[in-house]
C-alpha cells in the first residue's frame, strides 16, 4: 500500500537516546501496571533500552504467533487505508521518533507509540481477532462519517485506552496509555473514572485527544472484546438508522437514542 521500509541505518544518536529514555521510563513503570500479555509480548519481541526495534525481527515473532505483520506508514493515514490494513492483519507503524525537546507529548503517534505501545499485544490472538473484525465493520461503513466516528470511539476506548481486570488487579492494555507515563499513573489512581466494559456507553460520547480520558473501560479478558463484535455491529446499525445524519455529531457529546 505505501511501499515503505524501516531504514534502520538512518537512525541517529538522538533517535537511540530518545528510544532509550522513553523505554527506560515506561518499562520500569509498566512492570506492575501493564497487562501480563503486554509484558510477555515485549519479552517475545526482545524490546530493550539499547536497541530501536527492527521490524524484521518483530515480523518474525508475529509470523510465529498470530501471523500479523507490520506495515510501515509515514504517520497518520486515512481511515480507509488504516482499516484496510488492519482487516488484512497488517499493523500500520511509523518509523520516526520524536525529538528530545518534545519527549513528553506529541500530536501525531510516533514509532515509540506505534511500536513500543502497540506491537507487544499483536501476539495476543483474541485481541488481534477483535482488531481485525472491528476493522471489517468499519470498512462496511467507510463512507459514513457517523459510523466511523462511532467505531472510532469503540476503537479509542479499547485499543488505545483500555484497561483489563487481572489476578493481581486492574492492568493497562491500551496503547495510548502505555506510551504515556502520566496517563499510566493517572488511569490506575483513585481520581480516574473506571467503568465496566460497555459498548453502548463507549459509543455515546466523544473522547478527548489532548488530555487524560474522562473515563476508562475495564474488560475481564481479551475474549470480551472479540465476543462484543456482534453487539458493536448491531448497535452501530441501530444508531445509523436512528440518528439524522445531518446532525453535527462533532459539536457536542452525542446522546444516542439507541
Q: Which residues bind ligand HBI (CB under 6 A)?
A: 73, 76-77, 79, 82, 92, 109, 152, 155
Tell me the closest approach of the beta carbon of residue 109 to Fe ion, in angstroms.
5
Count of helices and strands (H, E) across the chain: 12, 6
Task: Provide the b/e sequence for 223-235 (b: ≥16 CB within 10 Å).
Answer: ebbbebbeebbeb
Choose from ligand HBI, Fe ion, none: what does 155 bind? Cβ within 5-8 Å by kind: ligand HBI
Q: Parallel, antiparallel, or unpaired for β 194-196 and 169-172?
A: unpaired
121 touching Fe ion, by CB under 5 A: no
Choose from ligand HBI, Fe ion, none: what does 53 bind? Cβ within 5-8 Å by kind: none
CB nearer ligand HBI, residue 16 or residue 96:
96
138 touching Fe ion, by CB under 5 A: no
Contact 41, 64 (CB under 8 A): no
Tell me the closest approach of the beta carbon of residue 179 to Fe ion, in angstroms.
8
131 touching Fe ion, by CB under 5 A: no
Cell of 128: 488481534
CB nearer Fe ion, residue 160 or residue 239:
160
CB nearer ligand HBI, residue 77 or residue 243:
77
Tell me the closest approach of the beta carbon of residue 215 to ligand HBI, in angstroms.
17
Tell me the closest approach of the beta carbon of residue 156 to ligand HBI, in angstroms.
6
Residue whose C-beta lies closest to ligand HBI: 152
Tell me the closest approach of the beta carbon of residue 71 to ligand HBI, in angstroms.
9
d(CA 88, CA 133): 10
111 touching Fe ion, by CB under 5 A: no
Residues contacting 30, CB < 8 A, separation 6+: 38, 39, 172, 178, 184
Backbone angles phi, psi at 11, to 5 degrees: -65, 140
In sequence order, what E strands does 73-225 have?
90-93, 163-166, 169-172, 194-196, 216-219
Contact 239, 203 (CB under 8 A): yes
Choose from Fe ion, ligand HBI, none: what does 100 bind? Cβ within 5-8 Å by kind: none
Choose from Fe ion, ligand HBI, none: what does 175 bind? Cβ within 5-8 Å by kind: Fe ion
CB nearer ligand HBI, residue 188 or residue 217:
217
d(CA 126, CA 228): 11
Contact 238, 258 (CB under 8 A): yes
Q: Give the x/- contact pattern for Fe ion in 151-190, rule: CB under 5 A.
A: ------------------------x---------------
Tell me the closest approach of the beta carbon of residue 54 to ligand HBI, in angstroms.
19
DSSP state of 210: S
Residues linked to residue 69 through DSSP beta bridges, in sequence order: 90
Name the residues that contact Fe ion, by CB under 5 A. Answer: 175
Amino acid at each position: 500500500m505505501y511501499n515503505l521500509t524501516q531504514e534502520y541505518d538512518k537512525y541517529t544518536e538522538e533517535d537511540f537516546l530518545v528510544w532509550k529514555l522513553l523505554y527506560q521510563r515506561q518499562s520500569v513503570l509498566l512492570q506492575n501496571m501493564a497487562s501480563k500479555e503486554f509484558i510477555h509480548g515485549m519479552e517475545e519481541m526482545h524490546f530493550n533500552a539499547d536497541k530501536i526495534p527492527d521490524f524484521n525481527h518483530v515480523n518474525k515473532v508475529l509470523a510465529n504467533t498470530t501471523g500479523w505483520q507490520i506495515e510501515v506508514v509515514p504517520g497518520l493515514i486515512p481511515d480507509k487505508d488504516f482499516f484496510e490494513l488492519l482487516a488484512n492483519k497488517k499493523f500500520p507503524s511509523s518509523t520516526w521518533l520524536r525529538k528530545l525537546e518534545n519527549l513528553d507529548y506529541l500530536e501525531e503517534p510516533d514509532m515509540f507509540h506505534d511500536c513500543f505501545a502497540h506491537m507487544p499485544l499483536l501476539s495476543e490472538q483474541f485481541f488481534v481477532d477483535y482488531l481485525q473484525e472491528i476493522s471489517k465493520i468499519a470498512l462496511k461503513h467507510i463512507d459514513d462519517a457517523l459510523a466511523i466516528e462511532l467505531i472510532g470511539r469503540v476503537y479509542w476506548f479499547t485499543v488505545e485506552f483500555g484497561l483489563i481486570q487481572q489476578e493481581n488487579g486492574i492492568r493497562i492494555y491500551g496503547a495510548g496509555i502505555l506510551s504515556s507515563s502520566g496517563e499510566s499513573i493517572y488511569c490506575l489512581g483513585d481520581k480516574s473514572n473506571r467503568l465496566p466494559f460497555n459498548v453502548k456507553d463507549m459509543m455515546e460520547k466523544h473522547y478527548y485527544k489532548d488530555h487524560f480520558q474522562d473515563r476508562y473501560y475495564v474488560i475481564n479478558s481479551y475474549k470480551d472484546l472479540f465476543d462484543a463484535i456482534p453487539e458493536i455491529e448491531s448497535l452501530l446499525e441501530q444508531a445509523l438508522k436512528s440518528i439524522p445524519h445531518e446532525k453535527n455529531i462533532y459539536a457536542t457529546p452525542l446522546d444516542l437514542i439507541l
